[in-house]
Amino acid sequence: MSRRARPAAGPVAFTVNGRPVEVDRHPMTRLLDVLREDLGLTGTKEGCGEGECGACTVLLDGRPVCSCLVPLAHARGGAVLTIEGLGGDHPLQRAFVAEGGVQCGACTPGMIVAALALPRTADRERVRRGLAGNLCRCTGYEAIYRAVRRAAHEAADGEAGGAAEHSP
Ligand code: FES
Ligand code: FES
């Protein structure tokens, strides 16, 4: 008879937005609930609760995940990034506002966090594919794709300017 591996009991330690945390809840508790209820990080939204809408997207060790599907145990020892980790004045956040990529805002935290994982060089099609798991009922998506590309261009311009400033 085969035995299933059980998640280790006891508090689960990981980092959220660079800060070490330890959470003592059942290891199968959804990461989404831990973030919102235990850690007070309500920027991460719940939409479908079934892995279909992307509203709950966070980065876990640099990869976008639906936090409604991730058990707390899977975060053990990992690094979670939520929308709060961007601080409010991140180039992506500014670009979403500038391009009209935010309307009701329900999808926005998940969209922006998912966009963080895209390569800077992503063209519209790559952005579209990269955000295909994030649903938006309001914007028609084009403003969101423009915002992601605008942020990438601004970041590249900033780096080029910085390099020029520092060049002899
Ligand atoms: Fe997690 Fe919809 S709430 S994917
Ligand atoms: Fe409303 Fe995207 S802005 S769901």
Domain count, the chain: 2
- pTM for the model stands at 0.91
As a whole number of angstroms, the distance between CA 109 and CA 85 comes to: 11
Whether residues 51 and 101 share a domain: the answer is no
Q: Are residues 149 and 96 in the same domain?
A: yes
126 in any annotated domain: yes
Mutation pick for ligand 1 pocket among 31, 36, 48 (CB with most ligand atoms within 8 Å)? 48
Is the distance from CB of 31 to CB of 12 less than 8 angstroms? Answer: no
CATH number (domain holding residue 153): 1.10.150.120
Which pLDDT tens digit goes with each residue over 13-54? 999 999 999 999 999 999 999 999 999 999 999 999 999 999
Last residue of a domain, one of 56, 85, 114: 85
Looking at residue 95, its pLDDT comes to 97
Which residue's alpha carbon is nearest to atom 2 within ligand 2? 136
User: What are residue 22's DSSP bridge partners?
Assistant: 13
Residue 125 has pLDDT above 90, yes or no: yes
24, 58, 85 — which closes off a domain?
A: 85
| Whether residues 122 and 134 fall in one domain | yes
Range of the domain at 36: 12-85
Residue 136 counted as domain residue: yes
Residue 90 confidence (pLDDT) above 90: yes
- With a cut of 60, say whether residue 165 has pLDDT above it: no
Same domain as 51, residue 23 = yes
For residue 158, being part of any structural domain is answered with yes
Pair 96, 74 in one domain: no
Tell how far the Cα of 105 is from the centroid of ligand 1, in angstroms. 15
- List pLDDT tens digits, range 113-124: 999 999 999 999
Q: Is the CB of 111 under 6 A from ligand 2?
A: no
